Amino acid sequence: MAWNKQVALVFLPSDSGVDGARSLYGDTEPPGLRRWLDSGVRNLIKRTQFAIPPLALMILASIEVPGVEQTLCDLRFEEFPFDRQWDLVGISVQTGMASKAFELADRLRSRGVKVVLGGPHVTMFPDSCRAHADCLVHGEADDLWRDVLADLVTDSLKAEYRPDAPPDLQLHRPVSRASLKKNRYFTTNLVQTGRGCPYQCDFCNVHVLNGRVLRQRKIDHIVDEVRRFSEEDKRIFFFVDDSINGDPLFARELFKHLIPLNITWFGQATTALGQQPELLDTFARSGCRALLVGIESIEPSSRIAHKKTQNRTDELAGNIRAIRKSGISLYGSFIYGLDGDTLQTPQAILDFIADTRLDVPGINTLRPIPGTKVFDRLREEGRLLFDPEDITSFRYTFGQEMLYRPKNIPLPEFIESYSELTRKVFNIGNAIRRGLEAPGINAAVLFFNLFYTHLYRLSRNDLRKQLETLGSA
């Protein structure tokens, strides 16, 4: 009897922030009891607030090919099982974690294990990946992965797999969660209704990777998936689409069909939802309890400079009030340090938060991701603080590292003002108040704010350390 080919699908954790909330500088770890408490908070954040399965790898693990057995390895929770015999290891590569992915790939290949690399970084920067892989998968792998596995069985693996066209999302592709250890995650109920984004924000790469045309699944396929998932896991559903209201007519029809299923769900939307009353009502009746909205900037000059054109600044506050009035709590994401921002911007953000009573504000710095227009522009202007010729030097952090010099604010003053802004937004008193005032999911809002009180303290410490390092360079 022939043995099945053993395939591992690997998801890598980031070095800091939401996957573990640790300092970028080991020597800043607090001593004694504080270190023990911080370690406990890190584990609680990872397990309670942010840990959801990697949907892209769930989709690949659901593809069945005779003679192949797939295992999902989530390295946020376990070490890679080097003691097992693997015929192929697939690693999803994000640009912010490319160095870590290459290190694992090189170690595996030195042991004679074949490695396939895929994901956003491979799609955008394949030349940087070829030296670390036996095989590259470009673009969305829904159709390609079956070919990879079939070629593995016949020992005819190709060096490159490229799609002729984006995968047809109208085809029925049931997602299985059999490979997941469900108790690791906040929820396993992840659902994607479509891909692509019609907007062109210069700091985002979604429209680059998935196209500017919204491609949607069939509504009956989504409804069947939600029904099937809810039978196995009664927890919250998370719709992972970047803008679940990007096509209002489609969204209204979908969530109208979900009302009888009595689920509770979170998602991501644009603040334009506040001007879509029928859709907003359908969201609320279908079980929506929280949404992440990208406010980014309330400075009109910054929104224009970075092509954030979905809403006018003067509409933002009214839209947020309308959404909260429907009973939906809001996580509002800001970026401080955009090209129209000044030292007066933090007070404007504070006033906006107080005026709208945002449930969870997120105060971010700009991430100039390689491959985005903002990266290209900042490189040309000489404003990047990492080597633009070494794209693996870019890394994701929870606001713990400045990656560029703001246009209108000297770096020391910016770090001081950003630190003061996060200190005023996140403290124990504000966490309790927001938890009590939230229109729903009060406990979750309280926990988010408490967690962020810890995370932004970590951010302030690391930014101060970075400034000292830059000053001594």
pLDDT tens for the 473 residues of the chain, in order: 358 999 999 999 876 655 556 777 765 555 655 565 556 555 555 555 467 899 999 999 999 999 999 999 999 889 999 999 999 999 999 988 899 999 999 999 999 999 999 999 999 999 999 999 999 999 999 999 999 999 999 999 999 999 999 999 999 999 999 889 888 888 999 999 999 887 777 778 777 667 677 889 999 999 999 999 999 999 999 999 988 998 999 999 999 999 999 999 999 999 999 999 999 999 999 999 999 999 988 876 555 544 545 555 678 999 999 999 999 999 999 999 999 999 999 999 999 999 999 999 999 999 998 988 999 999 999 999 999 988 888 887 878 899 999 999 999 999 999 999 999 999 999 999 999 999 999 999 998 898 889 889 989 999 999 999 887 65
- Closest residue by Cα to residue 296 from 225, 367, 233: 367
pLDDT for residue 473: 53
Q: Are strands 160-161 and 135-137 parallel, antiparallel or unpaired?
A: parallel
Architecture of the structural domain at 5-161: 3-Layer(aba) Sandwich (3.40)
pLDDT at 13: 85
Specify the pLDDT at position 184.
Answer: 86
CB atoms within 10 A of CB 306: 23
Per-residue confidence (pLDDT) for residue 469, from 0 to 100: 86
Q: How far is CA 15 from the centre of its chain?
A: 14
Q: Give the residues across from 112 on adjacent strands.
A: none
- Architecture of the structural domain at 187-472: Alpha-Beta Horseshoe (3.80)
pTM metric for this prediction? 0.89
Closest alpha carbon to 298 in 281, 318, 282, 279 = 318
SS (H, E, C) the chain: CCCCEEEEEEECCCCCHHHCCCCCCHHHCCCHHHHHHHHHHHHHHHHHHHCCCCHHHHHHHCCCCCCEEEEEEECCCCCCCCCCCCCEEEEECCHHHHHHHHHHHHHHHHCCCCEEEECHHHHHCHHHCHHHCCEEECCCCCCHHHHHHHHHHCCCCCCEECCCCCCCCCCCCCCCCCCCCHHHCCCCEEECCEECCCCCCCCCCHHHHHCCCCEECCHHHHHHHHHHHHHHCCCCEEECCCCCCCCHHHHHHHHHHHHHHCCCEEEEECHHHHHCHHHHHHHHHCCEEEEEEEEECCCHHHHHHCCCCCCCHHHHHHHHHHHHHCCCEEEEEEECCCCCCCCCHHHHHHHHHHHHCCCEEEEECCCCCCCCHHHHHHHHCCCECCCCCCHHHCCCCCCCCCCECCCCCCHHHHHHHHHHHHHHHCCHHHHHHHHHHCCCCHHHHHHHHHHHHHHHHHHHHHHHHHHHHHHHC
Locate the domains of the chain by residue range.
5-161, 187-472
By C-alpha distance, which of 135, 183, 195 is closest to 161? 135
Rounded Cα gap, residues 58 and 179, in angstroms: 8
- Paired tokens of 195: 């891909």
Give the pLDDT of residue 306: 46
Query: How far is it, in rounded angstroms, from Cα 291 to Cα 308?
Result: 19
